């Protein structure tokens, strides 16, 4: 995967994800990312992908919700229908890591598909901290970090908060 991966999202949606993570603490939260992926089409070296809405979901994992999340196929289907109803695509998923870093676990890798963006927010003692985004590599061996640009929703200007997969403190 040689092309740079990037994901654009506005600050209001970022705050919603972070708040959901805080409200769900000490359990994991989860939801779907709805938006558009116009694709590089072999011309650009950057994949244009933008989150335009989120679709919060219930963590269906009842036996260990503090370190696991589960979205049923039915809920995933509902998220897809919600995207279609808004003329968008289901481009990925988000979840929180309570009291753990915003890095994908081996369990995350085993249960992922490529192409989707996977946003992870770390929640420490109930407070949302770092947020990162990842995509599974074609050979399933590892996740590749996505560069995330957080747009100011009021100004529409891009403000790059992270690059190269480094976690960033949200300010």
Partner 1 sequence: MAVRVMIPTPLRVYAGKRDSAEFRAGTVGEALAQLTGEFDDLRRHLFTDDGNLRSFVNVYVNGEDIRYLAKEETPTKDGDTISIIPSIAGGSCR
Among 41, 62, 63, 106, binds partner 1 (CB under 8 A): 106
**Site membership for partner 1, residue 55 (CB under 8 A):** no
Does 98 interact with partner 1 (rule: CB under 8 A)? yes
The C-alpha atoms of residue 143 and residue 158 are separated, in whole angstroms, by: 25
Of 120, 51, 56, the C-alpha closest to 91 is 51
Q: What letter does residue 136 receive in the DSSP assignment?
A: E
Quick check: 28 binds partner 1 (CB under 8 A)?
A: yes
Point out which span in 12-20, 40-48, 88-96, 150-158 binds partner 1 (CB under 8 A). Answer: 88-96
Residue number, 12 or 115, with CB nearest to partner 1:
115
Burial class (CB in 10 A: 0-12, 13-18, 19+), 46: exposed
- Residue 140 touches partner 1, criterion: CB under 8 A: yes
* CA 54 – CA 125 distance, rounded (Å): 24
Tokens matching residue 11 = 């600050």
Q: Which residues bind partner 1 (CB under 8 A)?
A: 28, 30, 61, 64, 67-73, 76-77, 89-90, 93, 95, 97-100, 104-108, 111-116, 118, 138-140
């Amino acid at each position: 995967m040689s092309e740079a991966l990037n994901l654009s999202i506005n600050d209001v949606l970022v705050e919603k994800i972070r708040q959901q993570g805080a409200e769900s603490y000490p359990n994991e939260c989860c939801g779907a990312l709805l938006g558009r992926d116009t694709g590089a089409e072999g011309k650009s070296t950057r994949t244009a992908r933008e989150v335009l809405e989120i679709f919060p979901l219930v963590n269906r994992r009842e036996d260990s919700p503090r370190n696991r999340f589960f979205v049923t196929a039915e809920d995933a289907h509902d998220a897809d229908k919600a995207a279609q109803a808004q003329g968008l695509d289901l481009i990925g998923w988000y979840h929180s890591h309570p009291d753990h870093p915003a890095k994908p676990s081996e369990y995350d890798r085993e249960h992922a598909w490529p192409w989707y963006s996977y946003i992870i927010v770390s929640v420490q003692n109930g407070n949302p901290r770092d947020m990162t985004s990842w995509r599974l590599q074609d050979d399933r061996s590892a996740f590749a970090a996505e560069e995330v640009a957080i747009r100011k929703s009021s100004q529409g200007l891009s403000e790059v908060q992270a690059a190269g997969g480094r976690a960033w403190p949200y300010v």
